[in-house]
Amino acid sequence: MLRQYQLITANYWAFTLTDGALRMLVVLYFHQLGYAPLDIALLFVFYEAFGVVTNLVGGWLGARIGLNKTMNIGLFLQIVALSLLLVPTSFLSVAWVMAAQALSGIAKDLNKMSAKSAIKHLVPAGHDKRLLNWVALLTGSKNTLKGVGFFLGGVLLSTLQFHGAILTMTVALSLVWILSLITLRHDFGRNSSKPKFTAVFSTSKPINYLSAARMFLFGSRDVWFVIALPVFLANQLQWSQSYIGGFLATWVILYGLVQSLTPKLIATKRQTPLDGRSAFIWAALLAIIPIAIATGIHLQWPTTLTIVGGLLLFGAVFAINSALHSYLIIRHARSDKVSLDVGFYYMANAMGRLIGTVLSGLLFQLYNLQVCLLVSALFIVIAALLSLGIDQKPKLQKPS
């Protein structure tokens, strides 16, 4: 059991490195080519849009063929997506890059859904503390590695240029894929019965409320973090590409570390598990931060200090919110429909990222960073209210 968890985590780590590096490469490279913020945002539309579909189909597919297979399919598709970007620069049109990003989005969500669903099969029912620890460790370490990927993307772009960076990542991930084919257990996570495709749509009240809250939570982050912030740092603060990559990498690394530590940070003496009220409280605290940052910019506080300090605080509280959501989805997921419930949940996650990404480019181009931050706060408030709809005492199976 522990060995399979370690293999899944290592697989997830390797994929995440390339995913984070690729995102930073695309944002910085196409900004360097003179693309407007909205144009850059459009490069990621298919990445997020196909993620919505993938999570629905991927959860159903994982239940039918096994989670190890969906994870390996995700790795292979990421290799194909990277390979598409190795064409000459003259072929790197918006449509071509959007197509490559579409494949990358499918790959990412297959990999994520498989890794998160697998934990439900590895942790015995009723062991909530172990479940929280394992989910927090997997999610936190993944985001730490994604931060390293951001940094890696900036460094590779500066040293190897765009094509050299893409080729390096393609070769490295191909080796990981071959090892994954050999080591992951062949029947992992496959249901004994074959669920119908209509089962991808959740009929569980906790899953539906939690999924809706997740959509707004991640929309609140990406509406200012994905496009608006990197372009703001480049245009307003005149930061270099490598400096932007390094800063955002550091942020995501710290974000991941906080996620890993979430069980200790929100430790409680009560015996009842964490619930929707816990999610409401942490979301309410998070909503204050983007409002404070927008206020600081409006009042002309020192810009660098306001942005950097506010972003670090936002990252810490957001990390706890995200880890808590990740725990709640695994806890509420039905034992016989884990990949289906998790797939539906991450469909909502991808929808939130899609909405946030488009709004990040659009609002920043039409208005400014402050407007992006205020919309972020509004989304968080909606997520907090939706959290109250999650069943606080779901029926649990007895420990085996």
Instruction: Specify if 395 maps to a domain.
Output: no
295-323 burial string, b = 16+ CB within 10 Å, else e?
ebbeeebeeeebbbebbeebbbbbbbbbb
Predicted TM-score (pTM) of the model is: 0.77
Q: Of 75, 107, 82, which is closest to residue 180 (Cα–Cα)?
A: 75
Instruction: Specify if 396 maps to a domain.
Output: no
Cα–Cα distance between 100 and 108 in angstroms, integer? 12
pLDDT of residue 290: 97
Q: Of 22, 112, 133, 15, which is closest to residue 67 (Cα–Cα)?
A: 112
Instruction: Specify if 398 maps to a domain.
Output: no
Report the CATH number at residue 192. Answer: 1.20.1250.20
Instruction: Specify if 340 maps to a domain.
Output: yes
Instruction: Specify if 399 maps to a domain.
Output: no
At which residue do the structure tokens 């993620």 appear? 51
The total number of structural domains that make up the chain:
1
CA 235 to the chain's CA centroid: 26
At which residue do the structure tokens 């393609």 appear? 170
Instruction: Specify if 379 maps to a domain.
Output: yes
Instruction: Specify if 392 maps to a domain.
Output: no
Query: For the segment 90-133, what is each residue's pLDDT rounded down to a tens digit?
Result: 888 888 988 898 899 899 888 888 887 777 777 776 677 778 88
pLDDT of residue 244: 80
Give the domain extent around 133: 2-387
What residues have CB less than 8 Å from 11, skipping those under 6 apart? 71, 75, 111, 115, 176, 180, 184
Q: What is the mean pLDDT of the chain?
A: 84
238: left (phi over 0), alpha (psi -120 to 50) or beta: left
Give one DSSP letter per residue of 119-139, joined into a string: HHHHSPTT-HHHHHHHHHHHH
At which residue do the structure tokens 């999650």 appear? 390
Cα–Cα distance between 344 and 23 in angstroms, integer? 24
pLDDT of residue 395: 46
- Ranges of residues in the chain with a pLDDT under 70 are 1-2, 5, 125-126, 185-203, 242, 267-272, 335-336, 391-400
Instruction: Specify if 394 maps to a domain.
Output: no
At which residue do the structure tokens 């990390």 appear? 319
Cα–Cα distance between 41 and 39 in angstroms, integer? 5
